[in-house]
Amino acid sequence: MIYIFEVSILNICYRWKNSKTINVEEYKKVYKGHMEEKTLMLWGDKRYNNLSQFFKNKFGQKIFKVSINGGFSCPNRDGSIGIKGCIFCSEEGSGEFAGSVNLSIGEQFKEVKEKLSKKWNNAKYIAHFQSFTNTYAPVNVLRDKYYQAIKEDNVVGLAIATRPDCIGNDVLELLDEINQKTYLFVELGLQTINENTAKLINRGYDLACFEDAVKRLRTKNIDVVVHLILGLPNETKQDILNSIKFISNMDIQGVKLHLLYIVKGTPIEELYQKGKFKLLEMQEYVDLICDCIENLREDIVIHRLTGDGKKETLVGPKWSLDKMRVLSAIDRELKNRDTYQGRLA
Ligand code: SF4
């Protein structure tokens, strides 16, 4: 009870400081008493456990993620596992909005900071190694790059996106070391638990490999964020919900739910142009994502709910470019259903 009271007071103070009137009874009405006060206060004004509020609760202010290109490769592209890569993966290694590989880590940071400092004084950052496989290099190279990022001014944490088959024991030891110095989470690209789909998308590892990586990361108390893609070829709604339920039963701390979008020049574009599968319509996606949210354990933080393609290279669906519209439609649908994250988990 003391904890609930403290959380409520903290949130009320936070909102008062930000010139918004907060009324706990109003909140209870919005959520119709379904959820514990503790949970609803932690989620801010959303019906799901969202990253932005999670960061505010954890760090006491807004946090910006800075996508860094560390210049890494990927074993699914360089021939160690495969040469074609995952069929949806772009030339940028699924890091379209990361900094330029031609700039040092410090220079990439400087670019972002200069833009943000005009709008936000004293902004704080999570450095996000996003493009390609960010644990795929000798451990001394990794150490050097990770430390360069966390030593930048106002960096409060590190996010590392990688494959579960690229976390050897030496890498795990390094991640453990970093985790003791700063806030760290490791992102693993699972996409689906369906092994047939995994083969079709040329993922290059099996589910057991993913489960093993999660267990090993958790022995070091490292937070794990899992990527899933909604709308992969041949996948039914039940397949997608199976993936959601599977990860909901694992010791993971976050999830990124991506809409499948097609980037020009990728192998999946060829399948799409041949009419082998259809892309989701916006309302279909909104319905599906709300089903996922209802079936996702409530303490798992949702880092992403949409696709994030670049306009210049996006084949479709074009509606995904208007992210705010998609997010508003998701909020509206959750409200219409009078539901929230974890209601069916
Ligand atoms: S593992 Fe990541 S970087 Fe490598 S091919 Fe797949 S999506 Fe691209």
Tokens describing residue 227: 């990527």
The predicted pLDDT at position 196 comes to: 98
Tokens describing residue 23: 């009324």
**Domain residue ranges of the chain, discontinuous segments joined by +:** 7-337
Please, is 201 exposed, middle or buried when counting C-beta atoms within 10 Å of its C-beta (0-12, 13-18, 19+)?
buried
Q: How confident is the model at residue 2 (pLDDT cuts 50, 70, 90)?
A: very low
Please name the residue that has the structure tokens 């430390």: 147
Res. 278: pLDDT tops 80? yes
Reference 277, options 228, 309, 234, 314; nearest CA is 234
- Return the best residue to mutate from 81, 86, 210 for the ligand 1 pocket (most ligand atoms within 8 A of CB): 86
Beta bridge partners of 158: 127, 184
Q: Tell me 5's DSSP state.
A: H
Res. 14: pLDDT tops 50? no
- The 10 Å Cβ neighbour count of residue 236 is 9
Q: Is the CB of 254 under 6 A from ligand 1?
A: no
The predicted pLDDT at position 173 comes to: 98
Q: Is the CB of 85 under 6 A from ligand 1?
A: yes
Tell me how far apart the alpha carbons of residues 279 and 295 are, in angstroms, rounded to a whole number.
23
Q: Is the CB of 188 under 6 A from ligand 1?
A: no
Q: Is the CB of 89 under 6 A from ligand 1?
A: yes
Q: How confident is the model at residue 117 (pLDDT cuts 50, 70, 90)?
A: confident
The predicted pLDDT at position 37 comes to: 60
Lowest mean pLDDT segment, chosen from 2-16, 19-33, 57-71, 82-96: 2-16
Tell me how far apart the alpha carbons of residues 178 and 184 are, in angstroms, rounded to a whole number.
7
The predicted pLDDT at position 35 comes to: 58
Q: Is the CB of 164 under 6 A from ligand 1?
A: no
pTM: 0.89
Res. 280: pLDDT tops 50? yes
The predicted pLDDT at position 327 comes to: 97
The predicted pLDDT at position 21 comes to: 36
Tell me how far apart the alpha carbons of residues 221 and 176 are, in angstroms, rounded to a whole number.
8
Pure H helices in the chain: 2-17, 24-30, 37-42, 51-59, 105-117, 139-150, 169-181, 195-200, 207-219, 237-248, 267-273, 282-295, 323-337
Question: Nearest C-alpha to atom 6 of ligand 1 is from which residue?
Answer: 86
What distance in angstroms lies between residue 132's CA and the mean position of ligand 1's atoms?
6
Half-sphere exposure of 28 (CA within 13 A, CB side): 8
Q: What is the pLDDT of residues 18-74, one digit of tens each?
A: 333 334 455 455 554 555 565 666 798 899 999 999 999 999 999 999 999 999 999
Q: Is the CB of 126 under 6 A from ligand 1?
A: no
The predicted pLDDT at position 11 comes to: 43
Q: What is the pLDDT of residues 193-232, one digit of tens each?
A: 999 999 999 999 999 999 999 999 999 999 999 999 999 9
- Return the best residue to mutate from 67, 80, 84, 89 for the ligand 1 pocket (most ligand atoms within 8 A of CB): 89
CATH fold of 7-337 reads TIM Barrel (3.20.20)
The predicted pLDDT at position 247 comes to: 98
Contact 308, 96 (CB under 8 A): yes
The predicted pLDDT at position 93 comes to: 65
The predicted pLDDT at position 112 comes to: 84
Q: What is the pLDDT of residues 223-256, one digit of tens each?
A: 999 999 999 999 999 999 999 999 999 999 999 9
Tell me how far apart the alpha carbons of residues 291 and 337 are, in angstroms, rounded to a whole number.
10
The predicted pLDDT at position 92 comes to: 74
Lowest mean pLDDT segment, chosen from 84-93, 124-133, 145-154, 332-341: 84-93
Q: CA quadruple 311, 313, 318, 319: dihedral positive or negative?
A: negative
Q: Mean pLDDT, to the nearest integer, of 1-20?
A: 38
Strand-strand pairing, 301-304 and 254-259:
parallel
Cis? peptide before 75, omega within 30° of 0? no
Distance of CA 98 to the CA centre of its chain: 14
Res. 3: pLDDT tops 50? no
Q: What is the mean pLDDT of the chain?
A: 89
177 phi, psi to nearest 5 deg? -60, -45
Res. 10: pLDDT tops 80? no
Contact 226, 256 (CB under 8 A): yes
Question: Looking at ligand 1, which atom is closest to the CA of residue 74?
Answer: 4
Contact 159, 198 (CB under 8 A): no
